[in-house]
Structures are given as structure tokens and as C-alpha cells.
Amino acid sequence: MNPELYLADLEAKPAALDALATALEEGDPFDGLPENPRRVVFLGMGSSRYAAGVAALRLRAAGVDAVAEYASAELGHPPAPGTLVVAISATGASRETLDALERHHGRSPIVALTNTPGSPVTLGADLVVDMVAGEERGGVSCRTFQHTLALLLALQARLTGVKADLPGLVRRAADATGDLLDRRGTWLADVLELLSGPHGVYTIAPAERLSSAEQSALMFREGPRRPADACETGDWAHVDVYLTKTLDYRAVLFPGSRYDEQAMEWVRQRGSTVLAVGGTVQGARALRYAGDGDPEVALLTETLVAELVAATWWAGSAG
């Protein structure tokens, strides 16, 4: 992994998203998907599983039986002709995902979502979907995570029959991403100071965008090796609130939960430090960006803040 190349990967996000939007205009990447599967099982690890968790939740809300499983789990849905398995692996070589697929080969229809056509995850798949994210030379999943989310929205549209302007959404996300990148000179230094503390960074997001908190915390751990953990906003009052009493608590909040105020009430009482990305919340420093009022634009964009912070910290520690 390389911090300079990781930053270059982040700076290439808008162009990569434009390329994905063009690919979505040219055709449905899920054309050929089995009709009306009885259930959908997502398999993946790390960032892939984070994105899958949000996709499964959205499908269930639309009435589709869907679950995101740890590919490493010994117990999982049994194979069946009516079970559509969506295996997600940017490299196409995640050992746990390949192992989990063994029980489904020849017994369940399989979709492989990968950034590496011809990789092991594609072998035996009934349909291969290219993430169209380009090579991530920094060695960190960033564009592939963003593209996975966008493509899983396309899968949702296909399975539910609900029409959606996915190319338009992806281009709005490209604009939002470009806005954060172009204006980083006006916000990044302040955010670095805000989040620099002795006890790490905590990330908080509503269940519908929990992947943003999970991916952001991972970025703090993976590059600069800083302590970080993610929490769902409503659950925060049951599992993480205790940390505000004893730590120099620094958090990134992705607003949008009906329980934002419940969390912030404790934060204000205890003088903790919170950055609200994409919204204005009483007691938190706000960082706004173009299009942040659209939850789907936010889903595809907001992790860039943590990624840029992580890139800066990582470059400093590497130097």
C-alpha cells in the first residue's frame, strides 16, 4: 500500500464515476440475471460486506428476501436454484468469498461483482459484473467501494422493477465528490485538527448508510493505523455513549437518522467533538458539499471526507 498512490486514487474518483455512468447508459450490467429469485444472498468481506449490508436492507424494504453474510461464516444459507448468490470481491481473489462460493457452484445461480475480470471469483459464475473502477494503485479499496454501492443500486432496480436514473445519480455523486476534492483547501486542515485526538475516531451513521461509518472507520485503521470504530446512530445510545464520559471522544456523524438528536444530546452534555458530514446538527461542526441533501448522493459520496483525512495522516506517518 502507498499513501501517495492512494491519494491519487481518491482524486480519480470523479472521472471513474463518469465512466461508470457512461457504462450504465450503454446497458444494464445485470442483463441476464435470473428472473424472480426466491432470495438474494450477498457474500463478501470488509468493504464488500459493508456495501452488501446496505443493499440487503434496501431490498428487504422493497419486499425482497435478501441477506448479507460474512463469507467467512461456517453457517450460511444453503444452496438452492431459487437462491441468487451475489459474490463481491474487488480483487476477485478474496479467500473467504471463494471458499463460501464452493457450496453454491452448480447449485445456485451466481453473480460475481468484481473489478478484476477473469479473476478466480468469476470462475463458474453465471454473470460477471465489472465494477469499472480502474486500477487502485494505492492498494486500498476506495473507488471500488463507491462503485460497488452504485452497482448494487442498479441490482436493486433490476430485482424490484422500479425504474431509476442510475447514470444521473452516479453523475451527481461525481459532482459531489469533485466539490469536496476541489474545496479541500478550505476544510481539510480544520477537520484534521478537529479529529486528531489521543483516543482515535468514532464514526456514526444511520442503518440505511451504515456502510459510510464502517468504511470510514476502516480507512482510519487501514492507512494511518489509527484506532477507529463504527456505530449505527440509534444503537449509539446503547453501546458507544459510555465512551463520551471517559475519552477525548472525536466522532464523524453522517446525519439522517431520526436519532441524531438523541446522540447529540449526550455529546453536548459531555463536551465531545463531532463533525457532521453533509448536514447541520446542533453541537457539531458541519461540513457541507454539493448535493448532500440527497441520501443516495450521500451514500455514494460521504466517505471521501474520512478517506482524505486518512490519506493525509497516512502520508504524514509514512514520511
Helix then strand count (H, E) for the chain reads 13, 10
The SS3 call for residue 185 is helix
Please state the domain extents for the chain.
3-164, 183-318
Whole-number pLDDT of residue 317? 78
Identical topology for domains 3-164 and 183-318 = yes
Condensed to tens digits (0 to 9), the pLDDT of residues 72-125 reads 999 999 999 999 999 999 999 999 999 999 999 999 999 999 999 999 999 999
Contact 143, 270 (CB under 8 A): no
Structural contact between residues 108 and 84, judged by C-beta atoms closer than 8 angstroms: yes
Q: What is the pLDDT averaged over residues 238-261?
A: 97
Report in angstroms the alpha-carbon separations of 301 from 142, 292, 310: 11, 9, 15
Which residues 6+ apart lie within 8 Å of 17 measured at CB?
A: 146, 147, 150, 170, 171, 173, 174, 177, 300
Look up residue 57 and give its three cell numbers: 436492507
Measured distance CA(147)–CA(207) in Å, rounded = 19
Residue 36, pLDDT score: 87
Contact (Cβ atoms closer than 8 angstroms) between residue 32 and residue 20: no
CATH code of the domain occupying 183-318: 3.40.50.10490
Task: Tell me the three cell numbers of residue 161.
Answer: 422493477
pLDDT of residue 179: 98
Q: Is the pLDDT of residue 319 over 50?
A: no
pLDDT of residue 167: 98
Tens of pLDDT along 257-266?
Answer: 999 999 999 9
pLDDT at residue 318 above 70? no
Mean pLDDT, all residues of the chain: 97
Listed in sequence order, the DSSP H helices in 62-197 are 95-101, 143-160, 166-182, 184-195
Q: How far apart are the first and last CA of the chain?
A: 14
Long-range Cβ contacts of 236-244 (<8 Å, 24+ apart): 236/204, 236/263, 237/262, 237/263, 237/266, 240/202, 240/204, 241/266, 243/199, 243/202, 244/270, 244/272
Q: What's the mean pLDDT in 182-210?
A: 98
Cα→Cα distances 233→98, 170, 262, 280, 301, Å: 33, 26, 9, 15, 19
**What mean pLDDT comes out for the span 16-31?**
97
Residues in contact with 111: Cβ distance below 8 Å, sequence separation at least 6, in sequence order: 30, 33, 84, 85, 86, 87, 125, 126, 127, 128, 129, 155
- Rounded CA-CA distance 135/271 in Å is 43
Average confidence (pLDDT) over 296-315? 98
Stretch 53-60: mean pLDDT: 98
Q: 120: helix, coil or strand?
A: helix
Dihedrals φ, ψ of 195, to 5°? -95, -10
For the cut 90, the answer to whether the pLDDT of residue 194 exceeds it is yes
Q: Give the pLDDT band of residue 35 (cuts 50, 70, 90).
A: confident
Q: How far apart are CA 181 and CA 294, in angstroms?
A: 19
CATH of 3-164, one of 1.10.10.10, 3.40.630.10, 2.60.120.620, 3.40.50.10490: 3.40.50.10490
Whether 212 and 305 have beta carbons less than 8 Å apart is answered as no
pLDDT in tens, 134-163: 999 999 999 999 999 999 999 999 999 998
